[in-house]
Structure 1
Amino acid sequence: MGMTIVVTDSTPTGQQTARLLLAEVPSPITLRELIRFRVREEVARRNARTTARRNWESAADTAVRAFSRNGFFVFVGDRQVDDLDEPLSLAEADEVSFVRLVPLVGG
């Protein structure tokens, strides 16, 4: 049984550009798994509005590589997480913030 968490996207200056709810997120979850989970949901939502079918796994791989190259940063609450394989014990009160220097999916 997963939980529902709030995920936000922000610019490096702190401006929030997107806010979404992710449901059925397992806990604990590694940051790598969380990034992949989030990309899968984002691609699924995008595909629901378009006839184009994208392989979410390749998009998730791209996002993980972008994180490894400091393309974006992830904060759980006020704590920056920089280890892809660190197990995260999330609470529903936690807000996960993706501070993007580049888009995760698409343009």
Structure 2
Amino acid sequence: MAYTLTIKDETFPGKVLHQMELALQNELVTVEDIIEARVNKEVEEYNKKLPQYYNGLVQPTDSEAMLNGYKLKERKKIDPEKQVYVALDAFLNNGYFVLVDNKQSESLDEEVLLNGSTTVSFLKLTPLVGG
């Protein structure tokens, strides 16, 4: 059974910039599992179509931040493993905060029990550069 999770990118005043649904296989997951699944889904969707802009948690290498997301200098597939590494590292260095049902997560191994209404918000503080 898959558990659906709503993921939101928000600003500090609470404005939602981007929202997506994420399916996870387990009812009990960690913050690290959520970040990894989110980044993998974003990279997978980008790599299928290779659009002009990448909209994701972490800025890929060889791209510049634009209003519509990150514009890659050359349209090429993004390495999901590298993006996950950079995203996890950014969490550890306060590059963004993760709120689970409006409560701030303190560590990557913090456990989250998913239910039908679990919402995870990502509050970005600075642009992140990765793979």
Q: Flag whether TM exceeds 0.5 (same fold).
A: yes
Equivalent in the alignment of 1:54: 78
In 2, Cα distance between the equivalents of 1:7 and 1:105? 21
Deviation of 1:88 after TM superposition, in Å, equals: 1.0
Deviation of 1:24 after TM superposition, in Å, equals: 3.3
Cα RMSD, aligned residues only: 1.7
- 1:40-59 CA deviation, whole Å, 9 max, x = no partner? 00111111221622110110
Secondary structure, aligned partner of 2:117: coil
Structure with greater proportional strand content: 2
In 1, Cα distance between the equivalents of 2:120 and 2:84? 17
In 2, Cα distance between the equivalents of 1:25 and 1:40? 14
Which segment drifts farther, 20-29 or 96-105?
96-105
Equivalent in the alignment of 1:71: 95
Deviation of 1:12 after TM superposition, in Å, equals: 2.2
CA shift in 2, pair 1:104/1:89, >3 Å: farther
In 1, Cα distance between the equivalents of 2:37 and 2:128? 12
Equivalent in the alignment of 1:2: 2
Equivalent in the alignment of 2:45: 45
Equivalent in the alignment of 2:117: 93
Secondary structure, aligned partner of 2:27: coil
TM superposition score normalised by structure 2: 0.73
In 2, Cα distance between the equivalents of 1:105 and 1:38? 16
In 1, Cα distance between the equivalents of 2:129 and 2:12? 18
Tell whether the 8 Å contact from 1:43 to 1:105 is kept in structure 2 after alignment.
no
Structure with greater proportional helix content: 1
- 1:12-40 CA deviation, whole Å, 9 max, x = no partner? 23221100011234221111111011000
Which segment drifts farther, 73-82 or 97-106?
97-106
Contiguous gaps of at least 5 residues in structure 1: none
In 2, Cα distance between the equivalents of 1:41 and 1:105? 18
Secondary structure, aligned partner of 2:4: strand
Q: How many residues end up aligned between the 2 structures?
A: 106
